[in-house]
Amino acid sequence: GAVVSQHPSRVICKSGTSVKIECRSLDFQATTMFWYRQFPKQSLMLMATSNEGSKATYEQGVEKDKFLINHASLTLSTLTVTSAHPEDSSFYICSAGGTANTEAFFGQGTRLTVV
């Protein structure tokens, strides 16, 4: 089946620095990718929808200047957490889909810890 690869799986960074998370669709082209964050014992919360070649659409309450999303190609979307703070520590997950009547595929997630 189709695979979505997310990198890195774990990252620890210092407060004030920026972290980039990559999401790649390995064997299909994804015009749309979704980015989520998940806090312990909670469901996935949609942060933004990333569309290839255009600006991302952010959910209400998500700071677009803090969570920079770039979808430069049909197989790669990146999420950059800028000026990270401890409250940004979370599990970040990406998803990509293909066409109608196919499922969306999820990356394995990235555990971000800001110290």
Residue from the set 11, 62, 82, 91 that interacts with other proteins by CB under 8 A: 91
Q: Which position among 51, 80, 89, 113 is part of the footprint of other proteins (CB under 8 A)? A: 51
User: Among the candidate windows 11-19, 63-71, 75-83, 104-112, which touches other proteins by CB under 8 A?
Assistant: 104-112
C-beta separation of 81 from 112 below 8 A: yes
Closest approach of Cβ 16 to other proteins, in Å? 26
Q: Is 111 in the site for other proteins (CB under 8 A)?
A: yes
Helix (H, G, I), strand (E, B) or coil at 99: coil
In terms of CB distance, is 57 or 82 closer to other proteins? 57
Following DSSP, what letter does each residue of 46-97 receive, concatenated? EEEEEETTS--EEPTT--TTTEEEEEEETTEEEEEE-S--GGG-EEEEEEE-
Q: Is the dihedral of CA 56, 59, 60, 63 positive or negative?
A: negative
Choosing from 43, 64, 71, 89, the residue that interacts with other proteins (CB under 8 A) is: 43
